[in-house]
Amino acid sequence: MNEPIQVPPEPIELETRALSVHYGAAAAVRDVSIRIPDRQVVAFIGPSGCGKSTLLRCFNRMNDLIPGARVAGQALFQGTDLYGRDVDPVDVRRRIGMVFQKPNPFPKSIYDNVAFGPRINGFRGDMDLRVEQSLRRAALWDEVKDRLNASALALSGGQQQRLCIARALAVEPEVLLMDEPASALDPIATQKIEELIYQLKQHYTVVIVTHNMQQAARVSDWTAFLYMGELIEYGPTKELFTNPRVDRTEAYITGRFG
C-alpha cells in the first residue's frame, strides 16, 4: 500500500479524460480517465455489463452507430480528440482497427476479405503482397496460402478469427482493439490467438477486452478493472493480480463475484 502508484510509460497512444457514455438515460461508462501506452497490451476486465466493451468502442467511434448513444468527456488518440468537430470517423477507423467477439468474415473469398479494407481505402501498392503480409502477421498464411480464393466461411472458427485479424491489419492501423477475441473459440485456437497478441505488440498497441482473467494475466502488460461503468483500478498486470489496491478488485479477482 505504500508503493507509489505506477503510471503507464510514455509515449501515450490512447487516453480518455472523464469519458462518459450514455445510452438514453442509462450510463454505460462513467467518468473514466485512463492512459494507454504505445505498443503495449492493455486488458479491460470486469463482470458482464461493466462497460468494458462500450469503453473500447469509444476509441474507434463505433458507438456512433448506435442510435441514442451520447459521449461526454474526451477520448484522445496521439493527443488529438477523437470526437473533435473536424475528425472523420472513417479515418479514425482505418487507424484504429477492431476485431470482434464472434469472427465475422465477409461471405467472400479469403483474399477478398483481406483486400477489402485496402481497396476501400485506396490502396495503391501491390495487393497480393499486402494480402500475404497481413496473413503472415496474423499467423494464418501457411494454412491458407494455397486456397486464397476459397470462401472464408469454410475456415474453422479459430482460422476465421485470425482472418479477421489479418483483415484488420491490412489497412496498417496503429492500434488494434480486440473485443473478447477468443471467447467463441476452443482452447487450442485461443492459445494461438494469445501467442499472436504477444507478437502483435511489437508493431501495434493492443487493447483487449476479456472476461477471462487468466487470459488477461497471460497476455497483457497493463490491466484495467471496470465495474458498473467506472474504472476501479488500473495498473501493471502483475501488480493488479498479485497485490490489488482496491478491495473490489481483489473480490473480483478472487472470484467472490463476477
Partner 1 sequence: MTGQPSGVQRRPTGRPTDAVSDVPKDFQPRLRARARAGTVFAGLCFAATLVGVLALAALLADIITDGWHRLTPGFLSGYPSRFADRAGILPALVGSGWVLALTALVAFPLGVGTAIWLEEYAPDNRFTRAVETNIANLAGVPSIVYGILGLALFVRAFALGRSVLAAALTLALLILPVIIIASQEAIKAVPDSIRLGAYALGATRWEAICHSVLPLALPGILTGTILALSRAIGEAAPVILVGALGFLAFVPKGPLDGFTVIPFQIFSWVSRPQVEFQELAAAASIVLLVMLLLMNGTAIWLRNRYSRKY
Partner 2 sequence: MAAETASFPGAAGLRRRKRTERVIARLLFVFSAVSILTTLGIVAVLLLESARFFADVSPFEFLTGTEWTPLFRPARFGVLPLLMGSVLIAGGAAIVALPLGLAAAIYLSEYAGDRTRAWLKPTLELLAGVPTVVYGYFALSFVTPIIRSILPGTSIFNAASASIVMGIMIIPMVSSLSEDAMRAVPQVLREGAYALGATKFEVAARTIVPAALSGILASFVLAVSRAIGETMIVTIAAGSTPALTLNPFTSVQTMTAYIAQTSFGEAPQGSVEYNTIFAVGLALFALTLAMNVISGMILRRYREAYE
Which residues ranging from 57 to 116 are in contact with partner 2 (CB under 8 A)?
60, 62, 65, 67, 90-94, 97-98, 100, 102, 104-108, 116
- Please select the residue that binds partner 1; options are 31, 38, 230, 239, rule is CB under 8 A: 38
**Residue 22 interacting with partner 1 (CB under 8 A):** no
Query: Hey, what amino acid is at 16?
Result: T
Q: What mask of x and - would describe binding to partner 1 in positions 172 to 201, judged by CB under 8 A?
A: x-x---------------------------
Tell me whether residue 106 or residue 123 sits nearer to partner 1 (CB atom).
Answer: 123
Tell me whether residue 82 or residue 178 sits nearer to partner 1 (CB atom).
Answer: 82
Tell me whether residue 133 or residue 191 sits nearer to partner 2 (CB atom).
Answer: 133
Tell me whether residue 109 or residue 215 sits nearer to partner 2 (CB atom).
Answer: 109
Q: What is the largest CA-CA distance in the chain?
A: 59
**Residue 17 interacting with partner 2 (CB under 8 A):** no
Tell me whether residue 111 or residue 225 sits nearer to partner 1 (CB atom).
Answer: 111
Count of other CB atoms within 10 angstroms of residue 22 = 17
CA 113 – CA 171 distance, rounded (Å) = 12
Which of partner 2, partner 1, none does residue 245 bind (CB under 5 to 8 Å by kind)? none
Q: How far apart, in Å, are the Cα atoms of 169 and each of 116, 122, 239, 257? A: 11, 15, 31, 36
Q: What mask of x and - would describe binding to partner 1 in positions 201 to 240, judged by CB under 8 A?
A: --x-------------------------------------
**Cell triple for 73:** 468527456
Write out the E strands in the chain: 12-23, 26-37, 41-45, 69-77, 80-81, 96-99, 175-179, 205-209, 222-227, 230-236
**In angstroms, how far is CA 197 from the centroid of its own chain?**
10
**Cell triple for 119:** 481497396
Which of partner 2, partner 1, none does residue 200 bind (CB under 5 to 8 Å by kind)? none
- Please select the residue that binds partner 1; options are 9, 66, 91, 247, rule is CB under 8 A: 91
Cβ atoms of residues 207 and 14 within 8 Å = yes
CA 161 – CA 168 distance, rounded (Å) = 11
The continuous run of DSSP H or E covering 78 comes out as none
CB of 250 to partner 2, least distance (A): 35
CA 213 – CA 74 distance, rounded (Å) = 28
**Residue 67 interacting with partner 1 (CB under 8 A):** no
**Residue 192 interacting with partner 2 (CB under 8 A):** no
Which residues of this chain interact with partner 2, rule CB under 8 A?
Answer: 60, 62, 65, 67, 90-94, 97-98, 100, 102, 104-108, 116-117, 120-121, 153, 164, 167-168, 171
